[in-house]
Structure formats: C-alpha cells, structure tokens
Amino acid sequence: MNVRRAAAVFVTLALGFPVAAGPLGDFATKAYEATKRANGGSVSEADIGSALREALAKGASSAVKQLGSADGYWQNPRFKIPLPKSLAKSDALLRSLGAGPRLDELHLSMNRAAESAVPVAAEVFSGAIKQMTLTDVRAILDGAPDAATQYFRTSSSDTLLTRFKPIVAGITAKTGLAQQYKRVLASAGPLAATLGAPDLDTYVAQKALDGLFLRVADEEKAIRENPAARTSALLKKVFAK
C-alpha cells in the first residue's frame, strides 16, 4: 500500500469507522498500522489524541469567537434567538396596538445578551478538552458525525447554562429588559397568558447555548470533511491530507 493510499484509508478511519470491534475492526486496525508505516511509524495514539484535542479546541474557539461578537446571533438566521412563543404568536396583535418598536427592541436586546454571555464558554470548553481520556478520543473518532459536539453537550451543558444565566440576568436587569418583557406581555393581554411566558433569563441562556452547540457542530463537520480546515502540521499529519 503506497503512502497516498494509506493516508486515504486513515482519513476514512478518522471520519468514523469503528476501530476495535465489529466486522470492520480488523480492517480498521490494518488501516491504522498502514498509516503508521506510511508516516514512518510516527502516528501514535498520543498523536491522535493531541490532534483531536487540537481540532476541538480550534472548532470551539471559532464558534465562541463568532457568536460572542456583535451581531453573532442577531445577524445570522441560523443562530438568531427568536422571541418567546408567547410573544411571537401575538406579534401581529402587539404591532397593531403600537408595541412594534418595543417588540423589536426586546428582540434585539435578547440577542445582545446572548452575545455577551458566550465568551465565558471558551474556558469551559478548554476544561472539557483537557479532561478527555483516550476512551473519549476513540468514542469521538468512531462515533456519529457530531460525536464531538455531543461530548461537549454532555460534559459542558450544565456548567455553561450556570455560567450564562447570571450574565444574561445582569444585562436584563441593567437594560430593563425583564421589565420591558413584562410590559410587552401585558400589551398582549389574555392571549399571551394562555400561551405561557417563560422566565426570560433562562430562555435567553438556553437559546444561546443551543446556538453555540449548533456552531460547534459546524466546526466539527469542517474538521472531519474539509482538509483545508486542518490548519496545523499535527492535524494534517494525523488526518492524513
């Protein structure tokens, strides 16, 4: 098997084939060994773990940087936080009653609060990456296309939500967002009450978190599928361009 073919096999392996069990286990083992030979035996388990951690750190950093900046949520339809259903369902009524400007201001402020909260995720993600074991690494490499994102969800969601909420709450209190929310709800009358009104701080924090994981999933997909996204020597070496 020549170097190029061995590298191609390892790309396939890295993108999700099982490495230890099942009908493809023997194939995966041989592919890994062939890739090691093609690289002069230099691709070790440590290299694989380091490369994956580097890839996850890069993806998480990019996601946090994008969403944690001005308009990170607000200007992107995929990440833009919608108004709670209790308001969205009564949007036309509220605007007919002259509450349009307040509704628009509320909507923008919610997204601004999310953008302000996201940067704290960098530290949380960094901690999750440092705690990864070799078992975690293999589970991500051998798992679903979003296995790394799911690892972050499992290991970081509770901490992130806990960290996000005080930041969102501080912004809503400072800007009067909570009070504005209540006033807009009051404008909708019984209609809003029947739809249910969520706690605004929790709602914004959870939606910010959902958007962040969606963006992390984008980065994971790029690392798995796009050679151009492997920007360091280690990533190119392990993912075998």
Q: What is the pLDDT of residues 154-206, one digit of tens each?
A: 999 999 999 999 999 998 888 787 777 777 777 766 665 565 667 889 999 99
Confidence grade of residue 43 (pLDDT, cut at 50, 70, 90): low
15/223 Cα distance (integer angstroms): 9
Q: Tell me how far the alpha carbon of residue 221 is from its chain's centroid.
A: 11
What pLDDT, in 10s, does the model give residues 47-98? 778 888 888 898 899 999 999 999 999 999 999 999 988 788 788 888 888 8
- Pick the closest to residue 35 from 57, 65, 14, 62 (CA basis): 14
What pLDDT, in 10s, does the model give residues 87-120? 887 888 888 888 888 889 889 999 999 999 999 9
Q: What is the pTM of this model?
A: 0.74
What length does the chain have? Answer: 241
Predicted local distance difference test score (pLDDT) of residue 38:
46
